[in-house]
Amino acid sequence: MKYYSTKGTVEPVNFQEAIFRGLPADNGLFMPEKIPVLPSSFFDELSKMSLPEIGFEVLRHFVDSEIPDETLKELVADTLSFDIPLTRINDSVYALELFHGPTMAFKDVGARFLARCLSYFTQKKSNQLTVLVATSGDTGSAVANGFFNVDGIEVVILYPSGKVSGFQEQQMTTLGGNITALEVDGTFDDCQALVKQAFLDDELREAKQLTSANSINIARLLPQSIYYFYAWAQLPDEAKNEAIFSVPSGNYGNLSAGLIAQKMGLPIKHFLACSNTNDTVPLYLWNGNFEPKPSVSTISNAMDVGNPSNFFRMLDLFDGSYQQMIKHISGYAYTDDSTRDAIQKTYALYGYILDPHGAVGYLGLMDYFRSEQGTGILLETAHPVKFKQTVEDQILRDVPVPAHVEKTSLEKKSIPFNANFTDFRSFLIDKQ
């Protein structure tokens, strides 16, 4: 399979090159040249298949012969080593719980798959790869966990000191092994500037094989299609032709992955693009104008994105047609007050605890169902305990930390660092 740039000014590349580069040189986004339509026999068997089995069938077309089938099977099984259950909230709404992985957010799926693919190709070349990540919190923890103990890969995470949550810091700094956390005396922008400068430094790139684990890497996006199939398979038969997926969105990777699943033949009736007050995409869906703007802070902070990069993947999937896009996707945007209210009401009415992101998806379904029918599936993108205080203030009870992520005994290991490129450069050169 070849991957082209959405800007179309560079030659298409194979899967391996697309994932090592992350971004094409023309600053577009990589997209697969062909989206395969899966045979009806696959859909007939779907409800009998395990999550890794579905994952393999979905991904093998995109990876092609670049990773042998048997290896890809193992790699997918290792990526999806946790369940993604569909939980009924009420007669017409289900939550697809994407938070049962190590960092309790859906980004685990993409980060784990990317890590395993990079490791496979790196081992074939028998040299070490260094992954650099600048993070404001969530990406760092998903990448740290996704790459932990993966052979042939060193990860260096840069995060702004004092500006990430205690939970996120714990997840980035307690693993050790191949994960190094630099606690930068500065802002997220300072961290990002250091990483960008490192990639522009030819001598450094030569000395160290550097790559990024950027969220727009195609190997993070494609595996996210898998759970749309898995969710659909778990629906009662009578609901299978009326599935409405509500996707709480920031950079629109999750939604793009759902559109890919639909193109592969999954009979999804409609998508809801739900945002907080960072409503660039809902506004586009309402009026046809795409106008990026600076992001504003909200309680669903993983969706605080004013200029969502995957919008251009969405547009590409509809051949640039606004008219086609609005046939398949409706936009909704909500304030923090409505979001809090949804957390409170959903708990009071159904005993289900939503996190602030899932709550935004829930609100979208409620509005959609005012005029349309269907069975709603909201993507519950994070565990409510990640937003403990916000959630507990609404439901007035404790949200316990799930046993599999409780790591209170582990010690924080970070290296305090000044936001200075010369120091960063020497640090990377001297590392091992």
Beta bridge partners of 97: 380
Closer CB to ligand PLP, residue 96 or residue 198?
96
**Would you count residue 303 as binding ligand PLP (CB under 6 A)?**
yes
**Would you count residue 31 as binding ligand PLP (CB under 6 A)?**
no
The rounded distance, in Å, linking the Cα atoms of 423 and 432 is 16
Closer CB to ligand PLP, residue 120 or residue 227?
227
The rounded distance, in Å, linking the Cα atoms of 34 and 21 is 20
Interface residues for ligand PLP in 218-257 (CB under 6 A)?
Answer: 248-254
**Would you count residue 171 as binding ligand PLP (CB under 6 A)?**
no
Classify 160 as helix, strand or coil.
Answer: strand
CB of 256 to ligand PLP, least distance (A): 8
Cβ proximity of 47 and 226 under 8 Å? no
* 102: its two tokens: 């190590």
CB of 215 to ligand PLP, least distance (A): 7
Residue 13 corresponds to which amino acid? V
Closer CB to ligand PLP, residue 317 or residue 419?
317
CB contact burial 9-33 (16+ within 10 A = b; e otherwise): eeebbebbebbbbbbbeeebbbbbe
Separation of CA 414 from chain center: 25
CB of 360 to ligand PLP, least distance (A): 9
| Structure-token match 């404790």, residue found | 398
CB of 107 to ligand PLP, least distance (A): 5
The rounded distance, in Å, linking the Cα atoms of 16 and 66 is 7
CB of 291 to ligand PLP, least distance (A): 18
Interface residues for ligand PLP in 254-293 (CB under 6 A)?
Answer: 254
> Per-residue x/- marks for ligand PLP, 313-352, CB under 6 A?
----------------------------------------
Classify 277 as helix, strand or coil.
Answer: coil
* 356: its two tokens: 């602030």
The rounded distance, in Å, linking the Cα atoms of 102 and 106 is 10
Closer CB to ligand PLP, residue 130 or residue 346?
346
> Per-residue x/- marks for ligand PLP, 53-92, CB under 6 A?
----------------------------------------
CB of 222 to ligand PLP, least distance (A): 13
Cβ proximity of 347 and 358 under 8 Å? no
Closer CB to ligand PLP, residue 58 or residue 303?
303
Instruction: List residues binding ligand PLP (CB under 6 A).
Output: 105, 107, 138, 248-254, 302-303, 357, 381-382
